[in-house]
Amino acid sequence: MAEPEDRGTPNANHVVVEISLSIVSPEALLKTCYWFSRDYVCEVKKQTESVATVLLSPRTVTQEFTPNSIRDAFLTSALDFALREKIEAKTSGIRDLLLAKAFSESGVLEDEPEGVFGDKIEESNPDSMFKILSNPQR
């Protein structure tokens, strides 16, 4: 990730933020831009396969324009969205499992959920109180 002090060319009208796409995915970058779009016009350009730049232009010019803090906030937000992607990647399976478990007992789910569900730790524990184990291979 670029350091705020030595990348980009902030001036009175806009801020440039350089993003490493190996750390922040294009999807996470776009989500960051989405939230900044209220106050800034966000122009995203892909410089290379692994680097993108974002030009942030304030929608209204105020006296409190502080390029470094804007860049810091953008980088923090982008990294947070990258973290959220990591969490989702690690938990999407168990999330589906939990929701299936939650709604299966409410009568909302009429069909057995698609896919193979299970958890190695749970299945290795014969006394598990968590009843959903791997469904049979179909």
Partner 1 sequence: MARTFYPHEHFAPRPSTFNLLPFKFTRLNEKELLVNEAGEFLFAPTGTIQLLTDQTIDTASELYRDLKAKHFLYDDTSSPLLDVLAAKIRTKFDHLNGGTKLHIFVVTLRCEHSCHYCQVSRQSASRGEFDMSQATADRAIKLMMDSPAREITLEFQGGEPLLAFDLIQYIIPRAKQQAREREKNLDIVVCTNLACITDDILLYFRDEGVKVSTSLDGPAFLHNKNRPRPGNNSYEKAIEGIERSRAILGFENVAALMTTTAASLDYAAEIVDEYVRRDFHSIFLRPISPYGFAIKTRHRTGYQMESFLKFYKAGLKRVLEVNRSSYRIAEAYTQILLTKILTPHSTRYVDMQSPAGEAWSVLVYNYDGDVYASDESRMLAEMGDRTFRLGNVHKDTRRTIFTSDAALRMFQASATQSLAGCSDCAFQSYCAADPVYHYATQGDIYGNRPTSGFCIRNMEVIKELFALLEQNDHETMRIFWSWITGKSLQNEAIECA
Beta bridge partners of 40: 58
What are 67's two structure tokens?
Answer: 């390029």
Closest listed residue to residue 74, CA positions, set 26, 125, 35: 35
| Options 131, 136, 137, 138; binder of partner 1; rule CB under 8 A | 131
Site for partner 1 in 51-80 (CB under 8 A): 76, 80
Residue 48, interface with partner 1 (CB under 8 A)? no
Pair of tokens at residue 65: 């324009």
Show contacts with partner 1 in window 82-101 (CB under 8 A): 83-84, 86-88, 90-92, 94-95, 98-99, 101
Phi/psi of residue 61, each to 5°? -85, 125
Cβ closer to partner 1: 48 or 60? 60
CA contacts within 13 A on the Cβ side of 134 = 9
Q: Which residues bind partner 1 (CB under 8 A)?
A: 31, 34-38, 76, 80-81, 83-84, 86-88, 90-92, 94-95, 98-99, 101-103, 105-106, 108, 119, 121-122, 124-125, 127-131
